[in-house]
Amino acid sequence: MTLPHGYTLLTRGPVRAAVRTELADVLGPWLLASPLARPADAAAMAGGRGGTYRAVLPGGLRAVVRPYRRGGWLARVVHDTYVGWRARPLRELAATVEASRRGVAVADVLAARVEGGVVYRGALVTAEVPDTTPLIDALRAAPDAAARAALAASAGAAVGRMHVAGIAHADLNLTNLLARAGAVVAIVDFDRAAVMPRPLGQAARRRNLRRLARSLRKLDPGGTVHDATVVAAFRVSYGATGLPCAC
């Protein structure tokens, strides 16, 4: 596949890595080693499918490394192996860069790594978004109902801008929205995201928003951090981006 502007493809044996061109000399030796070495200061991150960690990479870069892991029933049989000619880490890199180009707030992708051919393992390396927490944690830490409503409004605006930009997130949930200082500042994990040439249609928006709602119910089953006011704040802010909420 064609890499986005500003990225260089490095290869060594069965390993290939698309890396920001200005970081190729710094990150190349680490990315092309097999297996990919976990830095000594790596700190595991909760959530997701496991394996994701924060670390300081060569050159002092603070980054999040997410090895690809299977989900669902297939994870019981195959843990981290994928099959396909178009490797998912490279597709995620391209989708994230395009989302950013269209004005979506994302974590900058530093590199995407693939080891193998048609059968492969992969990892995505993104710049750490400093001082952020997943939206669900920010809601739990909010001091009062007004602060929670403000967070929800910020989330509605962020998701709405993404949909206006024509990006359908494949796993929209409250752990993939990152908040800081009472506002959502980035959306992460664009694996299997669909990039459309125009704003998302109603059906695609509804699927995304239903997935987000399921995430909220799963993470907050007792309604401790969300109520009608929080939901209304999200809907109003989402609608202000120019698309009906469809939720």
Please return the burial class of 49, using the count of CB atoms within 10 Å of its CB with bins 0-12, 13-18 and 19+: middle
- d(C-alpha 154, C-alpha 157), whole Å: 5
Contact 174, 158 (CB under 8 A): no
Please, how many CA atoms are within 13 Å of residue 39, restricted to the half-sphere of its CB?
A: 22
Assigned token pair, 113: 């790594």
- d(C-alpha 220, C-alpha 151), whole Å: 15
- d(C-alpha 53, C-alpha 67), whole Å: 9
- In this prediction, residue 112 carries a pLDDT of 98
Full DSSP string of 70-126: --GGGGGT-SS-EE-SS-HHHHHHHHHHHHHHTT--BPPEEEEEEEESSEEEEEEEE
Q: Identify the segments of the chain with pLDDT beneath 50.
A: 75
- In this prediction, residue 74 carries a pLDDT of 53
> What are the φ/ψ torsions at residue 18 (nearest 5 degrees)?
-95, 120
The total number of residues shown for the chain amounts to 247
- In this prediction, residue 70 carries a pLDDT of 77
C-alpha to C-alpha distances, 22 to 6, 29, 31, 91, 111, nearest whole angstrom: 8, 14, 14, 21, 11
Q: What is the DSSP letter of 33?
A: S
Angle at 58 between CA 56 and CA 63, to 5 degrees: 35
Which of 136, 209, 111 has its CA nearest to residue 168? 209
In CATH, the architecture of 133-239 is Orthogonal Bundle (1.10)
Q: How far is CA 136 from the centre of its chain?
A: 15
Q: At what angle do helices 145-164 and 202-219 cross, to 10 degrees?
A: 150
Q: Count the helices and strands in the chain (H runs, E runs).
A: 6, 13
Q: Where are the domains of the chain?
A: 7-127, 133-239
**227 annotated active-site:** no
- In this prediction, residue 48 carries a pLDDT of 63
Residue of 171, 191, 220, 227 with catalytic role = 171
- In this prediction, residue 124 carries a pLDDT of 98
Q: At what angle do helices 228-239 and 145-164 cross, to 10 degrees?
A: 30
- In this prediction, residue 43 carries a pLDDT of 93
